[in-house]
């Protein structure tokens, strides 16, 4: 009868397993792959990222830049495997996997479709 009470007291004296997000954040390992980032200025619109994506997450869309119209990657992060193939194949290295994970919380599924302007 006293064993459950003893276990509760023992559990309360231990250090917490969770952190108070977003005030406190966990430290991430160097190998962590988070949200994709795009440097629009260096993108050459080669479409290599779209062709290499194993899950067909990346689609090319037309945007208007200072230099005129360009074709840029649009990413549906709800389907992304974070495999890093797009980062490896990108010739100018403008598409990179960062350490951000704030973009993975949304109330509406449509918020997971990130246009090129939102990836900067």
Domain locations in the chain? 27-119
Q: Is the pTM of this model over 0.85?
A: no
Q: Which CATH number fits domain 27-119: 3.40.50.261, 3.30.365.10, 1.10.10.10, 3.30.70.3270?
A: 3.30.70.3270
CA-to-CA dists, residue 120 to 23, 39, 49, 51, 115, angstroms: 24, 6, 16, 21, 10
Span 59-117, pLDDT tens digits: 999 988 887 888 999 999 888 898 999 999 999 999 998 887 776 777 888 888 888 88
pLDDT, the chain, mean: 85
pLDDT of 103 reads: 67
């Amino acid at each position: 009868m006293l064993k459950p009470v003893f276990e509760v007291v023992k559990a309360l004296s231990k250090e917490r397993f969770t952190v108070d997000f977003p005030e406190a954040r966990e430290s991430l390992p160097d190998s962590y792959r988070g949200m994709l980032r795009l440097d629009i200025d260096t993108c050459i619109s080669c479409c290599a990222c779209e062709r290499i994506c194993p899950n067909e997450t990346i689609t090319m869309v037309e945007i208007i830049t200072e230099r005129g119209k360009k074709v840029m990657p649009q990413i549906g992060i709800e389907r992304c495997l974070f495999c890093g193939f797009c980062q490896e194949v990108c010739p100018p290295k403008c598409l990179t996997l960062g350490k951000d994970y704030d973009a993975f919380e949304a109330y509406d599924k449509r918020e997971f479709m990130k246009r090129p302007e939102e990836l900067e």
